Amino acid sequence: MTPEQEHAHLPHATGHRWLDLTLALCAMFVSVVSLIVAVRHGATMDRLVAANSWPFLTYATDNEDPQGRRRITLKVENAGVGPARIQTFEMWWQGQPIASADELLIRCCMVQPHTQLEVPDVRALHLSVGLVAPIVLRAGDAQNIFSLERTETNSDVWDRLDLARLNLKLRACYCSVFDECWVSDLVETTAEDVRTCPPVKVPFVVPQRWYKSGAPPRGAPN
């Protein structure tokens, strides 16, 4: 017996050439529209996922803590909805880059000349420091740059810092969990998109000598 051969079913033609052509064009048009809709839907979903993981850093400062004590605090807050991987952090005072909290105090707020402050000096000033970069900052969280409690012995320095804190220039580069990166001055409501965070000349850090000379000042990362 010879098996029956299957024949492919060709689309039924109407017998009218112009109508067949119109139907074919309509089917092609529907296919193209469906493809465009699918592509745009995928792009919309990608943007939605990115928006739900978007970090946004801002600078915040105050001169009183929640307990009502006179304490100046400088901090970076993540006002976005996703975690921020802070890669670099910079600070300027009167157009000059600042490498650490003690360098800022020496330049802006101390009358007697100092080249640098050691751990005993920092503790005597009641200065607490924090590491801003590199860290991961969750949405809604804040990281202290440093804080200074007002005392009888540091009142002059505290008063000058109270004015200087409003005239600092800052810059940070940070990325989302999807490796989307931005550079921001932490003041404007917009940030510049960058492919990767560029290296910086003078990063703002906790001085290494504070660790080498013993336990770091209060608030410094371990």
Measured CA angle at 143 (ends 207, 54), to 5 deg: 125
**Shared-domain flag, residues 106 and 182:** yes
Same domain membership, residue 25 and residue 135: no
Strands of 20-70 (E only): list them: 57-62
Domain match, 196 and 86 both: yes
Residue 99 Cα distances to 27, 78, 80, 116, 177, angstroms: 66, 22, 27, 11, 28
Does 167 lie in the same domain as 86? yes
Domain count, the chain: 2
What's the pLDDT at 52?
Answer: 67
Residue 75 within a domain = yes
**pTM for this entry:** 0.75
Boundary-marking domain end, from 51, 69, 96? 51
| pLDDT tens by residue, 151-206 | 999 999 999 999 999 999 999 999 999 999 999 999 999 999 999 999 999 999 99
Share of the chain above pLDDT 90, in %: 59
pLDDT tens by residue, 103-131? 999 999 988 767 788 888 888 889 999 99
Question: What is the span of the domain harbouring residue 31?
Answer: 14-51
Co-location of 198 and 131 in the same domain: yes
1 occurs within a structural domain: no
123, burial (CB in 10 Å: exposed 0-12, middle 13-18, buried 19+) = middle
* Whether residues 87 and 47 fall in one domain: no
Statement to judge: residues 80 and 94 lie in one domain:
yes
Same domain? For 120 and 43 the reply is: no
Residues 208 and 137 in one domain: yes
| Cβ–Cβ < 8 Å for 165, 104 | no
Pair 138, 31 in one domain:
no
Question: Are residue 161 and residue 188 in the same domain, yes or no?
Answer: yes
Strands (E), the chain: 57-62, 71-78, 84-93, 96-98, 127-129, 135-137, 142-149, 169-175, 181-184, 192-194
Q: Is 92 in the same domain as 176?
A: yes
In a domain, 116, yes or no: yes
